[in-house]
Amino acid sequence: MYNILFNRHIGLNPHSLLLPEPVRDVGDYGAIATTGLTSGHQGCVGCGMVSGTNQVLRALKLSGKHVVASIGTGCNEVITTQNTSCWGEVSVDHNNFPNTAATLSGNIAALKALAQAGGVSPESIVNVGIAGDGGTYDIGLQALLAWIARGENGVYVCLNNQAYMNTGVQGSGATPYGTDTTTTPFGKAIRGNQRTPQYLLDLALAAGAPYVAAACPLWHRDLMIKAQKAAAIEGPCVLEVYSVCPEGWKSDTDVFHEITELALETRSWILYEAERERDTNTVLFTLNYLAKKYLPISDYLRLQERFAGMRDFPEMVRRAQEIIEARWSFWRPVMEANGIEWKEEARAI
Amino acid sequence: MATVMAGNGAAAWGFRLSRVQCYPYYPITPSTSCSQQISRWVYDGAMGAVTINAESEHSAASQIIAAGKNVRAGTATSSKGLLYMIEVLENAAGGAIPCGLFIGNRATGAPINIWADHSDAYAMRDSGLIQIFAADGQESLDSIIQGYRIAEDLRVRMPFAVNLRGFTGTHAYEGVEIPSQEEVDRYLPPFVPLYSLFAPEKPVTYGAMLSAYPYRRHKRNQMAAIGNAAEIALKAGKDFAEKFGRSYGHFEWIGDRKAELVVALLGESAAAGEVATRHLQGKEGIPGVALLKIRLFSPFPAREIAQALNRAGTKAVIVFDEGLQHGGVLPPLAQRITAAVHLHLGGKGPKIASVIGGLGGSEVRQEHFQLMFNLAANIAEGKPYRPEPYWLDIDEDPIFVEQENQVSPKLWKKWGEIWKKQPRQEKYCAPIPPDTEEIRIYSRAGQGAITSAVGFTGAGIENGYRLVTVPAFGSERRGAIITTDTLINFHKERRIRSFMRAWDVVILYDDTILYSPEHRVLDGLKEGGALLVNTSHMSVKKIRGLLDAGEGRVRIFTAPAAAVSEGLGLKHINMPMLGALHKVYDKVPFDKALGYYERNVPRPREASLEAIRRGHAETTDQEIQRTRKERRLLVSQDFLDWRPEDHSQESWPSALEEVQIG
């Protein structure tokens, strides 16, 4: 348990209570001469994960540190390391599917041992773990929570595309309610995914993470600020990135922008961050974005054929709306503090 | 100068002297105390490694594989823990990461079983690791140091595992020579990362995905690299012998140079095999015998083993496996030796039979090896034998059968013709006269018997004897009756660490054990041996009466250990019992041992030392009158006869009577 405080200010936040200085807002600097993944990767057209990885890497490189990425098996690894490496000046350690956080932990230990021996300065390196939602919410959760609990210094990035896309769109612990996946098909008897996703960042906070943040590549300034903060804050920080997947979401490849905007306007993806002040056991929550419009969830379901089945079932759409409202009610104090009307009803039906 | 420690402690020294820099761990019986020891050193600042309290073996393995790219890394595990690691271990081999594992070998279940066999090591044999089998703590220590040298060689760059049998290896306390750090540093150069992740000027990608063409080439290279390890291991063993005086090869040939009969095996059970081999050597009517103790299991030195068998003129080999290959033709070691012989000797090779034993903590004793040599002799004489494995200690399926009705008709139908032609030969199977002296302690878990036995072992070793103490482990229960055995070997030149189970002294830390129907304390006690009992109210006469044993059968001593400890404010009775043991058994002189105890007894030292002295002084085989008041619960026969369904008892007895005990 922890005390909860809300940041009254909604918006981009390069400041942190845990850092002496704000991190760089890349928007203030215009073009940045860092690169993410190099050309030649095999990612799909319209892949959100590639953008996410690129932005994370570019943000981390802004610090001038050498990036050591411990990556888990999944799309991200397969499309970037097949027979050649697309990681440019980043050192990459791919180990296995379930052990991204353990591999990260091993590399952090190696860095510590090397620093003890006087070979490497730990300040010159940033250790980052990168995995998908399957490797984070499901098979890698044990290693991740243990890594957080041990309080090791690094960044963990979950590229969340809400199902097992690399193996052919099977339902994961991050799959939304009602989604049609190959293992939660929209059938006559059971209509798609019946569970609600668990919330990774809540788990991470409960395990003791000093900083957690949810971001999306569309709001790249926000994402890159968050990645820099996670790297600068001492301890295990977790960043979750919304990753559009045209293949798994059965959407057009050119609606990356629209889908993400709708996710934010329907509040089914929330850009927020939380930092934990250890001594007082207080967690400060900041809402980083509030869309001008509050749209019903049915709008979000429109562009993605994975939701095609549930669109015809009003009670399912209502349930999806309830899930969002229940989660969003957490932010009520911030909304009220800003004099923003709290809309209970945004239901389409 | 040897120091007394258990196999796990010796393995911990192996990691420490190798200057392991990263040591993640997850506890599992029976290898845990290796990790405990390392944690102790690291938390005390005596060892400079980075430890990680991993949440699973899977993560611990992932961590050594990650860290092993940049620093020297290692961990210890057993059984299911190793199986849990296997998923990632192939990444170590495929990624050419030279990290190290110490494995306290244990059965893998189901049924769950915490005791020793080689199932876990066999399960990992296709994971691409160099696998070395050690036979005791010393070999574990030495093999871990050599393991890093072999693994980190540029022609190899492969992970390695050092195996030691659980409990009889990992928990056996004996004298271990600890080389100095300077000597080890001269033998084992510092770890050199080939492609560091932390070198910004040269970024690197590990674990890339390869398609068929580069993949098959990579796998071929990987096979070549582990193959190279055989030659490098030989060189590493030779250099080790030069520096430290203990030589190691691919295998050890124990017994006659010309040996018609050979028993081949892996690891610690060789201790019992060695005793049987030495016993049979040169006996009338018995051809040359030898024990082939294989150390390097992967890469398997097939050609060398075939050549050795050929040179020795071997006619029959019995391969003893402590694990299975389910659904396979032969268990793993038998399969490898059979392949080696067929490939390299063709039709001229010896005949090979397989024996399975030692499973799930089953004892592997000298007499088992006598049976195996007997079987080898029969096979060498041309007798028929089974094309599938024999089993040790399966009542209805013995190796030799005297009479048909001993076994089920079904088995007789299958193997009768072979059994009829396979005689049990007395010259092989006659009992081996004990060559060592042995002490058994029966105590209740928590009484400190292991501490005192290890103390005694240390004192003996310091005075130039060879001692081994093996505590028996059950599932952890305070207050359960456990045994702790100590072997004293007076042969300076011969290594004996296998118990004959003929006790010179039996010690009871608790007199109630006399009443235990499960523990016949005189069983195995030599004629005229000594029984030492911690008791404050039983007389020698009473004990003799209870055991129904005459004066010639057993010498009985009593020690008032509880009273001594109570008087000195000690919680445990083990220190007075240690002193008492010296009174009963004087081959390890008490005055010399005291010097060791002065430096090594547990805190509070003064009281412990005084307890040892008093225990020694107050132990007697005389009748002594002790009057002491004891409170006893008044119970009626009705109460004792009471059963849950019986409602006749109206109240529970609660009165206490005070009785005089003399």
The structure tokens listed for A161 are 């595309």
Share of chain A above pLDDT 70, in %: 97
Asked if B453 and B549 sit in the same domain, the reply is yes
Asked if B76 and B164 sit in the same domain, the reply is yes
> Which residue, among A99, A176, A173, A182, has the nearest Cα to A142 in the 3D structure?
A99
- Is A143–B59 a contact, with Cβ atoms under 8 angstroms apart? yes
Q: Do the bridges between strand B2-5 and strand B173-177 make them parallel or antiparallel, or are there none, so unpaired? A: antiparallel
Residue B326 one-letter amino acid: H
- Is A94–B22 a contact, with Cβ atoms under 8 angstroms apart? no
Residues of chain A neighbouring B69 (CB-CB closer than 8 A): 93, 107, 110
Please, how many CA atoms are within 13 Å of residue A221, restricted to the half-sphere of its CB? 14
Run of H or E including B609: helix B605-618
- Is B73–A70 a contact, with Cβ atoms under 8 angstroms apart? no
Contact residues for A81 (Cβ-Cβ < 8 A; gap 6+):
A87, A92, A94, B205, B207, B208, B209
How many angstroms separate the first and last alpha carbons of chain A?
38
Indicate the burial class of A167 (C-beta count within 10 angstroms; 0-12, 13-18, 19 or more): middle
Is B623 inside a domain boundary?
A: no
Residue B495 one-letter amino acid: R
Asked if B533 and B403 sit in the same domain, the reply is no
- Is A85–B71 a contact, with Cβ atoms under 8 angstroms apart? no
Cα A49 to Cα A133, A241, A251: the distances in Å are 11, 8, 15
Residues of chain A neighbouring B210 (CB-CB closer than 8 A): 82-83
Residue A206: predicted pLDDT: 95
Asked if B188 and B323 sit in the same domain, the reply is no
Residue A24 one-letter amino acid: R
Asked if B77 and B221 sit in the same domain, the reply is yes
Nearest neighbour of A93 by CB, restricted to B54, B69, B73: B69
Are the CB atoms for A52 and A43 separated by under 8 Å?
A: no
Q: Which of B399, B429, B459 is the last residue of a domain?
A: B429
Please, how many CA atoms are within 13 Å of residue A56, restricted to the half-sphere of its CB? 34
Nearest neighbour of B67 by CB, restricted to A77, A87, A110: A110
Residues of chain B neighbouring A103 (CB-CB closer than 8 A): 62-63, 65-66
Nearest CA of chain B to the CA of A321: how many Å? 38
pLDDT digits (tens, 9 = 90+) for A16-36: 999 999 998 877 766 666 788
Q: What is the CATH number of the domain that holds B464?
A: 3.40.920.10
Please tell me which residue of chain A has the smallest CA distance to B93. Answer: A95
Run of H or E including A239: strand A236-242
pLDDT digits (tens, 9 = 90+) for B39-53: 999 999 999 999 999
Query: Exposed e or buried b for every residue in B495-523, given b needs 16+ CB within 10 A?
Result: bbbbbbebbbbbbbbbbebbeeeeeebee
Is B283 inside a domain boundary?
A: yes
- Is B205–A110 a contact, with Cβ atoms under 8 angstroms apart? no
What average pLDDT does the segment B492-507 reach? 90
Please tell me which residue of chain A has the smallest CA distance to B25. Answer: A106
Are the CB atoms for B176 and B3 separated by under 8 Å?
A: yes
How many angstroms separate the first and last alpha carbons of chain B?
48
Give the relative orientation of helices A100-117 and B57-67 as an angle to the nearest 10 degrees.
Answer: 50
Return the bridge partners of B482, or none.
Answer: B443
Asked if B580 and B650 sit in the same domain, the reply is no
Asked if B417 and B524 sit in the same domain, the reply is no
Residues of chain A neighbouring B65 (CB-CB closer than 8 A): 95, 103, 106
DSSP E strand stretches across B270-424:
289-294, 296-298, 316-321, 351-356, 390-391
Interface probe for A, chosen from B19, B22, B195, B217 (most Cβ of A below 10 Å), is B22
| Mean per-residue pLDDT over chain A, rounded | 93
> Which residue, among B480, B499, B502, B476, has the nearest Cα to B489 in the 3D structure?
B499
Residue A107 one-letter amino acid: N
pLDDT digits (tens, 9 = 90+) for B252-281: 999 999 999 999 999 999 999 999 999 999
Contact residues for B111 (Cβ-Cβ < 8 A; gap 6+):
none
Higher pLDDT, B662 or B220: B220
Run of H or E including A143: helix A141-150
The structure tokens listed for B88 are 């990632």
Residue B536: predicted pLDDT: 84
pTM of the model: 0.93
Nearest neighbour of B56 by CB, restricted to A94, A109, A142: A142
Q: A321 φ, ψ to 5°?
A: -65, -40
Is B568 inside a domain boundary?
A: yes
pLDDT band at B649 (very low <50, low <70, confident <90, very high): low
pLDDT digits (tens, 9 = 90+) for A265-281: 999 999 999 999 989 99
Beta carbon pairs, A and B, within 8 Å: 163
Question: What radius of gyration, in Å, describes the C-alpha atoms of chain B?
Answer: 27
- Is B214–A83 a contact, with Cβ atoms under 8 angstroms apart? yes
Give the relative orientation of helices B574-584 and B590-600 as an angle to the nearest 10 degrees.
Answer: 160
Nearest CA of chain A to the CA of B13: how many Å? 19
Q: What's the CA gap between B608 and B574, in Å, rounded?
A: 9
Nearest neighbour of B197 by CB, restricted to A84, A91, A109: A91
Nearest CA of chain B to the CA of A30: how many Å? 26
pLDDT band at B652 (very low <50, low <70, confident <90, very high): low
pLDDT digits (tens, 9 = 90+) for B505-548: 999 999 999 988 888 999 999 999 999 999 988 889 999 999 99
Q: Do the bridges between strand B503-508 and strand B289-294 make them parallel or antiparallel, or are there none, so unpaired? A: unpaired
- Reported ipTM: the value is 0.93
- Number of other CB atoms surrounding residue A289 within 10 Å: 17
Return the bridge partners of B315, or none.
Answer: none
pLDDT band at B661 (very low <50, low <70, confident <90, very high): low
Contact residues for B122 (Cβ-Cβ < 8 A; gap 6+):
B323, B324, B325, B331, B332
Q: How far is CA B113 from the centre of its chain?
A: 16
Q: What's the CA gap between A278 and A208, in Å, rounded?
A: 9
Q: For chain B, how many structural domains are there in total?
A: 4
Q: What's the CA gap between B537 and B511, in Å, rounded?
A: 9
The structure tokens listed for B34 are 């290796």
Contact residues for A33 (Cβ-Cβ < 8 A; gap 6+):
none
Domain that holds residue B185: 2-244
Residues of chain A neighbouring B22 (CB-CB closer than 8 A): 106, 109-110, 113
Residue A348: predicted pLDDT: 43
Please tell me which residue of chain A has the smallest CA distance to B85. Answer: A99
pLDDT of residue B633 exceeding 80: no
Q: Which of B394, B429, B464 is the last residue of a domain?
A: B429
Residues B556, B562, B565: CA angle, nearest 5 degrees? 125
pLDDT band at A349 (very low <50, low <70, confident <90, very high): very low
Are the CB atoms for A39 and A50 separated by under 8 Å?
A: no
Classify the C-alpha dihedral B491-B497-B503-B508 as positive or negative.
positive
Asked if B388 and B536 sit in the same domain, the reply is no
Contact residues for B607 (Cβ-Cβ < 8 A; gap 6+):
B568, B569, B570
Q: Whats the size of chain B, residue-wise? A: 662
What average pLDDT does the segment A237-253 reach? 96
Q: How far is CA B535 from the centre of its chain?
A: 32
Asked if B442 and B422 sit in the same domain, the reply is no
pLDDT digits (tens, 9 = 90+) for B97-107: 999 999 999 99
pLDDT of residue B223 exceeding 70: yes
Q: What's the CA gap between A213 and A14, in Å, rounded?
A: 12
pLDDT digits (tens, 9 = 90+) for B433-450: 988 999 999 999 889 999
The structure tokens listed for B484 are 């702790």
- Is A142–B67 a contact, with Cβ atoms under 8 angstroms apart? no
pLDDT digits (tens, 9 = 90+) for A141-183: 999 999 999 999 999 999 999 999 999 999 999 999 999 999 9
Residue recorded with tokens 């979000």? A300
Residues of chain B neighbouring A151 (CB-CB closer than 8 A): none
Is B300 inside a domain boundary?
A: yes
Asked if B316 and B424 sit in the same domain, the reply is yes
Q: What's the CA gap between B422 and B445, in Å, rounded?
A: 45
Domains (ranges, CATH) in chain A? 3-337 (3.40.50.970)
pLDDT digits (tens, 9 = 90+) for B588-598: 999 999 999 99
Residue A347: predicted pLDDT: 46
The structure tokens listed for B205 are 């990608």
The structure tokens listed for A136 are 């984070």
Cα B302 to Cα A3, A65, B262, B343: the distances in Å are 66, 50, 16, 9
Are the CB atoms for B500 and B435 separated by under 8 Å?
A: yes
In which order are the strands placed within the sheet that holds B437-444? B2-5, B173-177, B466-471, B481-489, B437-444, B503-508, B525-534, B554-559
pLDDT of residue B165 exceeding 70: yes
Nearest neighbour of B198 by CB, restricted to A66, A92, A116: A66
Asked if B465 and B407 sit in the same domain, the reply is no
Are the CB atoms for B105 and B117 separated by under 8 Å?
A: yes
Q: Which of B244, B277, B310 is the last residue of a domain?
A: B244
Interface probe for B, chosen from A53, A79, A95 (most Cβ of B below 10 Å), is A95
Interface probe for B, chosen from A61, A65, A93 (most Cβ of B below 10 Å), is A93
Q: What is the CATH number of the domain that holds B321?
A: 3.40.50.920
What average pLDDT does the segment B89-118 reach? 95
- Number of other CB atoms surrounding residue B241 within 10 Å: 14
Residues B290, B295, B296: CA angle, nearest 5 degrees? 125
Nearest CA of chain A to the CA of B96: how many Å? 12
Q: What is the CATH number of the domain that holds B145?
A: 3.40.50.970
Asked if B255 and B235 sit in the same domain, the reply is no
Are the CB atoms for B525 and B584 separated by under 8 Å?
A: no
Whether the bond between A176 and the residue before it is cis, its omega within 30 degrees of 0, is no
Nearest CA of chain A to the CA of B192: how many Å? 11
Residues of chain A neighbouring B84 (CB-CB closer than 8 A): none
Residues of chain B neighbouring A104 (CB-CB closer than 8 A): 66
Share of chain B above pLDDT 90, in %: 85
Q: B98 φ, ψ to 5°?
A: -85, 60
Residues of chain A neighbouring B88 (CB-CB closer than 8 A): 95-96, 99
- Is B208–A68 a contact, with Cβ atoms under 8 angstroms apart? no
pLDDT digits (tens, 9 = 90+) for B554-574: 999 999 999 999 999 999 999
> Which residue, among B126, B133, B52, B115, has the nearest Cα to B78 in the 3D structure?
B115
Nearest neighbour of B206 by CB, restricted to A92, A113, A146: A92
Cα A18 to Cα A3, A11, A108, A232: the distances in Å are 16, 18, 21, 9
Q: How far is CA A179 from the centre of its chain?
A: 19
Q: What's the CA gap between B14 and B24, in Å, rounded?
A: 16
Contact residues for A281 (Cβ-Cβ < 8 A; gap 6+):
A1, A2, A3
Residue B435: predicted pLDDT: 86
Nearest neighbour of A109 by CB, restricted to B52, B56, B198: B52
- Is B62–A143 a contact, with Cβ atoms under 8 angstroms apart? yes
